[in-house]
Structure 1
Amino acid sequence: MLLDPSSTQPWPVPQTPYEAEALDFCRAWLEGQTEFVLHTSGSTGIPKAISLTRTQMAASAYLTGQTLGLVAGDTALVCLNVRYVAGVMMLVRGLELGLPMTIIEPAGNPLAGFDPAQTRFQFMALVPLQLQTILEQTLNALPILNDAKAILIGGAATSPALEQALQVIDAPVFATYGMTETVSHIALRRLNGPTRSDLFYALNGVELGTDERNCLHITSAATNGVRVQTNDVVELIATPNPGPVQFRLLGRADRIINSGGVKIQPERVERLIEDALAAENRPARLFVAGLPDDRLGQQIVVFIENRTLEPEVWKQLQGAIRQQIGPYAVPKAVIRVDEFAETPTGKVDRAQTIDRYR
């Protein structure tokens, strides 16, 4: 479905309930509705309703446009779920910035139905699995991807294997950092090209700081000037003034594992394992968790989806973790799960996956 905010032609007739839902939001926005209720994805807890004002959402949209150099007439692909903030904000950006939008229902491969010779999008936002599927399945997808001014990747962390695979894309690809409470992203990290980095940089006007746990807090126009406290453990990086605040995302405070009195950030262990498997061209979806243990309090284990690690590979991984992080970070077991549970937005639901195993 194509929707051009600047066109004087009648709006398209929705062909599916999803298209109708997207058009209902667009009509409400253009009619001046001042408050919208969105729901969090539930990836870190029970989904909750959050009320956002039109002013907040517009501020976020214009900041994205300014950062990425988007101008009226740039075409956008909207293929994220419009029931959540990432998809809704693609609609708001299109309406506020004058971007003709191709709106499709979320799919694993959103470019599958487009002719690379006749398709160009200057702006698109994807989840990691969508980009991975595009690169694996879509013949000649690079002309579509390379024509973009920016490709945003969010909703979940990008794996080392995907970061390696996307280096064939010439267009700027950015990982996003944000949440419903911050009205989508407030920081970006370049994933490809000579300026790729493991650091996020805050967008213009976004103020960042940390609490006593080293967890990030955020204040911006999109938060109505209210400080939003997160559970994300970060390392703030000193930068010359003037310049954007930069930070390295270390993991979540509520995921820290206490094993034998030593606190372990599981994301660091996950990344090491993912890097090693990607280097061997054997990527896997996995996560590290702490299971109850009578002696240690929590025992570190690896949950891996639909594959088995050979004993020699597992032994090498344990050795690498012991050497690079420390003996207390070494997982005691690897647990194979046929299929991970997922949230409505496609993120791995770790709690439900663990509950199923138990």
Structure 2
Amino acid sequence: MRTPTQPVRNRLHHPELTTLVQTARFHAGRQPAAPAVLCEGRTLTYADLHGASNRLAHALRAAGLTEGDRVAYLGKESEHYYEVLFACAKTGTVLVPVNWRLTAPEVSHILQDSGTRLLFLEEEFAPIVGGMPTAPPETVVGLGSIVAWRAGHPDTETGFEATPDTPVAQLYTSGTTGLPKGVVLAHRSFFAIRDALAAEGLDWIDWRPGDIALVGIPGFHVGGLWWATQNLNAGTTIVAMRAFAARQAVDLVRDLGVTTACVVPAMLRMMLTEPGVTTGDFTTLRKTVYGGSPISEALLEKSLAVLDCEFAQIYGLTETGNTAVCLPPAAHVPGGPLMQAAGRPYPRVRVKVIDEQGRELPPGAVGEVCLHTPARMTEYWGLPGKTAETLVDGWIHTGDAGYVDEDGYVFIRDRVKDVILVAGENVYPAEIENALESHPLVAEAVVVGTPDERWGEQVHAFVVPAPGQRPSSRELHTFLVPRLAAFKLPSRYEVIDHVPRNPSGKILRRELRDRFWSDSARKVN
């Protein structure tokens, strides 16, 4: 493995910055000409970012938006995404990034649930908004005209000063009821882990002068938003990909001299299987941060050999403000005892494992993993009951089953909640089951996650037909396509006579799922 080219003492940490408002102001004054965002050959400097987001903030105010109003962004990554993010920060409005892979009904739910008043819309996705069963927000601004829309407004600040507890983003994560929930994150969610690492002098994840960071995970995902803000807070340069493509990612690393990257394991696998990829494509890369799902030992070995850099695994949820646990580079030893671990908590983050009665379990005992982190969410938007179930006395109940060893390392073994992880995206069975059961030929449906070498997990649907019916896989798939995003669609449909249940009527989902995982030490992938 290459030796890092810069000593750890050169880490970038600006402890005086506690909000994104301060970040934009500080770096525009300190290094105005430094590149903040690179996207498809365009460069947005820190001065550009500050000025454009100021104009956009005044434009939001002129459109009647005030503190607490929701502003949605439906589009692929670009410099405009970050201009909107900082404009929201400077007005106290809350950014709602919308997954552009969703269908019209799914997008409609997010816009309605959040109460979005203004939508920034990439023209490519106008048909989705046009096909929604509900009316669009009162104001829709095409991204192609965003420059003209903000023109004429001053490039000075609005005067709004956020606090670390001011909400700044609302990200939607699928829920056990089938409807996505809005996770509200405050400014502190994007500073707390940085401060914790710096306080202990740890370089598990670090930012250094001259860093150029590839943002492989999209900004509607907490991992992509968190990674981008960490680098912008440090004053480094981010490379925004419109949408992840393996060949393009390899080319960007090589041609732009990328030094750090944040990806999910499926992205690594795709990059390494691109024809002609060699170690020479990654000579500038010093650290790869990955999360969303565990990495297989075979993929890690190949990644270490080809990328030839340090690796850090991060574990957390949208509700924890992204990462709360990290497997540091030193633990990434193929065949080593920690390669099955999710990692250990950062300083200032606590972990406990509890049983079904909420009692804390000793090291080695398997139960639900709970995390106490200063980066945690403030609430599920408009769902106080659900918030109280997940956020208890400052502890986030993850829904993951695992244990903590004597050295404080967290090991994830299964899931308490019925979530499926497809290439780092949370998919909840209830959402798919509800859609399937609305088909006239389906009496009942149960969905589980099964192992998949490329994507980590895939969706497997069990279907009980209506009396006298037998729907084909093609019929069911065609029915679901306009109702669910592509990554939620089942890879296989299996017809069964009945759904297994316990005496109280609860579905024995585990009975259907376990046969696919019989050869795995972990029932997560």
TM-score interval (norm. to shorter): 0.5 to 0.7
Q: Distance in 2 between matches of 1:115 and 1:54?
A: 30
- Displacement, 1:70? 1.7
Alignment of 1:70-109 (within 5 A): 70-109=207-246
State the structure with bigger RCO (CA 8 A, min sep 6), 1 or 2. 2
Q: Which of 201, 208, 211 is the aligned partner of 2:344?
A: 201
Q: Which of 400, 405, 418 is the aligned partner of 1:232?
A: 400
TM-score calculated relative to the size of structure 2: 0.46
Residue 56 of structure 1 aligns with an amino acid whose one-letter code is S
Larger CA deviation: 218-227 vs 187-196: 187-196
Distance 1:285 1:97, change over 3 A: closer
Q: What is the aligned partner in structure 2 of residue 212 from structure 1?
A: 355
Q: Which of 120, 126, 149 is the aligned partner of 2:263?
A: 126
Superposed CA offset, 1:18-54 (max 9, x none): 3122331134346755312322442865321011111
Aligned residues: 283
Alignment of 1:170-209 (within 5 A): 170-189=308-327, 192-193=332-333, 197-199=339-341, 200-209=343-352
Q: Distance in 2 between matches of 1:73 and 1:29?
A: 26
Residue 77 of structure 2 aligns with an amino acid whose one-letter code is Y
Distance 1:176 1:155, change over 3 A: same
Distance 1:77 1:46, change over 3 A: same
Larger Rg: 2
Alignment of 1:163-174 (within 5 A): 163-168=300-305, 169-174=307-312
Distance 1:252 1:148, change over 3 A: same
Distance 1:41 1:208, change over 3 A: same
Q: What is the aligned partner in structure 2 of residue 60 from structure 1?
A: 193
Q: Which of 369, 374, 378 is the aligned partner of 1:221?
A: 374
Runs of 5+ consecutive residues of structure 1 not aligned to the other structure: 240-244, 257-265, 294-336
Q: What is the aligned partner in structure 2 of residue 318 from structure 1?
A: none
Q: What is the aligned partner in structure 2 of residue 330 from structure 1?
A: none
Identity across aligned pairs (percent)?
Answer: 14
Q: What is the aligned partner in structure 2 of residue 321 from structure 1?
A: none
Runs of 5+ consecutive residues of structure 2 not aligned to the other structure: 1-36, 54-74, 92-160, 357-366, 378-392, 420-447, 465-476, 496-525
Distance 1:26 1:143, change over 3 A: farther
Residue 18 of structure 1 aligns with an amino acid whose one-letter code is E
- Displacement, 1:235? 1.6
Alignment of 1:1-358 (within 5 A): 1-2=37-38, 7-8=46-47, 18-19=77-78, 20-29=80-89, 33=162, 34-42=166-174, 46-63=179-196, 67-109=204-246, 110-114=248-252, 116=254, 118-137=255-274, 139-140=276-277, 142-143=279-280, 145=282, 147-168=284-305, 169-189=307-327, 192-193=332-333, 197-199=339-341, 200-213=343-356, 214-223=367-376, 226-239=394-407, 245-255=408-418, 270=451, 349=488, 352-353=489-490, 356-358=493-495
Aligned residues: CA RMSD: 4.1
TM-score calculated relative to the size of structure 1: 0.64
- What secondary structure sits across from 1:173 in the alignment? strand
CA contact (8 A) 1:38 1:83 kept: no
Q: Distance in 2 between matches of 1:182 and 1:52?
A: 9
- Displacement, 1:285? 6.2
